[in-house]
Structure 1
Amino acid sequence: MTLSISLTVNGERRDIVLDDPRVTLLDLLRERLDLTGTKKGCDRGQCGACTILVDGRRINACLALALSHDGATITTIEGVAQGDRLHPVQAAFIAHDALQCGFCTPGQIMSAIGLITEGQAGDDPERVREAMSGNLCRCGAYAGITEAVLEAQAQLAAPKTERAA
């Protein structure tokens, strides 16, 4: 039994035939679409390494069946930069040393982008820490992550004329 689904992944429509209805979005992205930036950490929805955006909202790809997202728009870490121009969250992560080993970084960045898009970041470090608590960093780069999210949030909230300066 095969099932067909259609997804828009990083702006590109993908028509996919699934041989198994139990395939997760994580496995589909990594194994079938070769988008390996999304990491498989715990495979139980506890670490956040697999965080992606589905229709603009943060989800753990390891817990999501691909079949149940037919027609969805998916953004992975590979789809956030514009050519050589980093997304403001990516640039802020670099500027604030918000990474060490880098394994959790794609999930952290996707969660931060979702958090900012959802309007939940604000300017309170505690609020950011709480909203990012589903993303674990074994290296302990949390201070830099929080600073990066706050900076990116402020930059993205600024009027376009200020950003160009």
Structure 2
Amino acid sequence: MNRIDRLRASTPYEADFVQWCAEQGALLREGRLSELDRENLAEEIESLGRRDRREIRSRMEVLIAHLLKWEFQPGHRCHSWQASISEQRTWIRNIVKDSPSLRRFPAQVFEEAYKDALPVAVRETGLRKSHFPIEPSFTAKQALDDRFWPGGPLSMDDFLRD
């Protein structure tokens, strides 16, 4: 798909994004740099970094919401909550592994993610907002630590519901 017809005009970015990507890739591979759509290509490359930041931010919010549910509804703990918490941690860790420059980013967005996770936890638990602390009861480092489970240690009784 990355071989472009040299006789045909390039596809405009706005007309067909997939075709445009294929053509830009082919131009790069062929060394035809003067024919590249440099502005749109640069924007797309920059957006890749923003995508990873958005992904970390979103997963931090889900992680925090589930940690809050885990902490403040111990009688409702279940395997699906545990799996979700573990999954968010793994995804964040893998994104940072692929892009080490983002290693501090989860901590940088932690406070903001907590503020956005709080209404989610309120809605999903049915508890009043006043039941939850305004400030986080755990840190970003703890939230990302596989050994950290707020509200006390794990026991088999935590998994009676599922």
TM-score, reference length from structure 1:
0.29
Structure with greater Cα Rg: 2
Higher helix fraction (1 or 2) = 2
